[in-house]
Structure 1
Amino acid sequence: MGCVTSRLRTFPGRDDPFILSSETTFSVSEVEALFELFKSISRSVIDDELISKEEFQLAIFNNRAKENLFSSRIFDLFDVKGRGAIDFGDFVRALDVFHPYTSQEVKIDFSFRLYDLDNSGFIERHEVKEMINAILCESEIKLSDDMVETIIEKTFLDADPNQDGKIDKFEWEKFVSKNMSLLKIMTLPYLTDITTSFPSFVFNTKLDDDIVL
């Protein structure tokens, strides 16, 4: 019986694809395909085998011209080591959150951290407003200030039952479980069909009519 080999094993210091596969939804072959994508992104500005924020915005959001709170926040959550750059292991583990087969619990947890901008353990009104405006800007959608305030007001009426002006993780979980369309942004369908020619992709940040946030 033949042995299974991996091209990534020949790179010292790099995360083992078999370990990454065991920790994520991806198969070993998909991890190796993601490595081809990672190499392409990490070389787009500086060839240093790391993805900078500029390279991330260019590849993931197709936007290099301006920094946006939404894309910046996604990058910060991908950058689990907090060093201002994403290595290959970070990249695969973070993308796993957006896999269609990843559990709703994981996606809900990630989305809570996405909106909790100051890492206080709560989502507050100003954070929701900042994130909505950032998503609207990224999507090139224009809404009046009154409309944005209406969205925020409806969100807190539904998600903050004790009306203390902040949403804790338990309240967020209940809110999202009743508004599953909120998790649409947490899923990238492309991740179910990865090949070595897997292209760069763009997050769909468009707000649907039935999405509260």
Structure 2
Amino acid sequence: MIQKTQKECLKLRTMSSISSPAIDTTTTKHIMTSDSHGLSDSRTIMECVCAALMPLMVAVAGCLGYCSNSFVQKNKRCSYTAEDFETLAASTRFTIKEVEALHVLFKRLSSSLIDDGFIHKEELQLALFQTPNGKYFFLDRVFDVFDQKRNGVIEFDEFVLALSVFHPYASIDEKIDFAFKLYDLNQTGFIGRDEVKQMVVAILIESDMNLPDDLLEAMVDKTIADVDKDSDGKISKEDWKAFVSENPSLLMNMTLPYLKYEL
């Protein structure tokens, strides 16, 4: 489940990476030794947001790992034609066989709650969080990134085109742009302080963590300071690209593991 993934992510570093004269050291030490695991620096915050896609990536990798002809044919009952699969393969980095295998996964996800050939938000939530109930902060953003047609559902071509960025042959710039879209909550072309704070608060809540307001604000300030290269108070796409170039591990989860090891 995503909560477990995020909690594991939060364990990577400690509060010692956040230095601010506004933070009382006694408070910091208390949090570091409490049952809650400290949220680390800006790298870990961004890594936790990317972790929202990990359950889906595991499902995709597993599906592609079994994309033999017999497997695909046995599950191939759909309105898409061989020509449709060829077109999608030509538009992405997937092979025709892999596109057919992705359709098997798509059918499973799109029929989990409503069997109408589309992935609804509740079905994506079920895939990512193992429950159709509850409200999760990152769900809307992930759904919007996939729903390029803005019609309230994820269609198969959108599903394949979005996943194409996770292919090992996808360029670094494509992966950087995709991740930036996840963080650009208001879709303004830059990430403001309020957006960073929303992400940090959501990660803390979904990881059952509580921090004092001053420590939370310091964490947000440090994240902005780390990434905002031109010091204009917001994170532009150029700032983000520069930050990723210095911290390539941020894109660690942006490549499908099955294809990575097959190529």
Q: Same fold (TM over 0.5)?
A: yes
The letter of the residue matching 2:133 is A
Aligned to 2:9: none
Q: Percent identity at matched positions?
A: 49
Matching of residue 70 in structure 1 with residue 149 in structure 2 = no
Does the 8 A contact of 2:93 with 2:169 survive in 1? yes
1:127-142 to 2 correspondences below 5 Å: 127-138=195-206, 140=207, 142=209
Does the 8 A contact of 1:14 with 1:88 survive in 2? no
Distance verdict in 2 for CA 1:50–1:113, change over 3 Å: same
Output the TM-score relative to the length of structure 2. 0.63
Distance verdict in 2 for CA 1:11–1:85, change over 3 Å: same
Q: Which has the larger radius of gyration?
A: 2
The offset of 1:118, in angstroms, is 1.2
SS at match of 2:252: helix
Q: Tell me, which stretches of 5 or more residues in structure 2 are unaligned? A: 1-71
Matching of residue 180 in structure 1 with residue 248 in structure 2 = yes
Output the TM-score relative to the length of structure 1. 0.77
**Residue among 151, 155, 162 paired with 2:223:** 155
The offset of 1:173, in angstroms, is 0.6
Aligned to 1:210: none
Aligned to 2:191: 123
Aligned to 1:61: 129
The alignment yields a C-alpha RMSD, in angstroms, of 2.8
Aligned to 1:114: 182
Aligned to 1:21: 89
The letter of the residue matching 1:115 is Y
Aligned to 2:156: 88
The letter of the residue matching 1:90 is E
SS at match of 1:165: coil
Does the 8 A contact of 2:147 with 2:154 survive in 1? yes
Distance verdict in 2 for CA 1:80–1:54, change over 3 Å: same
Aligned to 2:111: 43
Of the structure 1 ranges 179-188 and 111-120, higher mean CA displacement relative to structure 2 is found in: 179-188
The offset of 1:12, in angstroms, is 5.3
The offset of 1:19, in angstroms, is 1.5
Does the 8 A contact of 1:100 with 1:187 survive in 2? yes
The offset of 1:128, in angstroms, is 1.1
Structure with the higher helix share, 1 or 2: 2
Matching of residue 168 in structure 1 with residue 227 in structure 2 = no
The offset of 1:16, in angstroms, is 1.0
The offset of 1:190, in angstroms, is 4.8
What does the per-residue CA deviation read over 1:42-67, in whole Å, with 9 as the maximum and x for residues that have no partner? 11111100000000110133232212
Distance verdict in 2 for CA 1:183–1:9, change over 3 Å: same
The offset of 1:189, in angstroms, is 2.4
Does the 8 A contact of 1:122 with 1:166 survive in 2? yes
SS at match of 2:178: helix
Does the 8 A contact of 1:124 with 1:167 survive in 2? yes
SS at match of 2:138: helix
Q: Provide the aligned length of Structure 1 versus Structure 2.
A: 189
The offset of 1:10, in angstroms, is 7.0
User: In structure 2, how many angstroms separate the alpha carbons of the residues matched to 1:71 and 1:115?
Assistant: 12
The offset of 1:147, in angstroms, is 4.5
Distance verdict in 2 for CA 1:15–1:185, change over 3 Å: farther
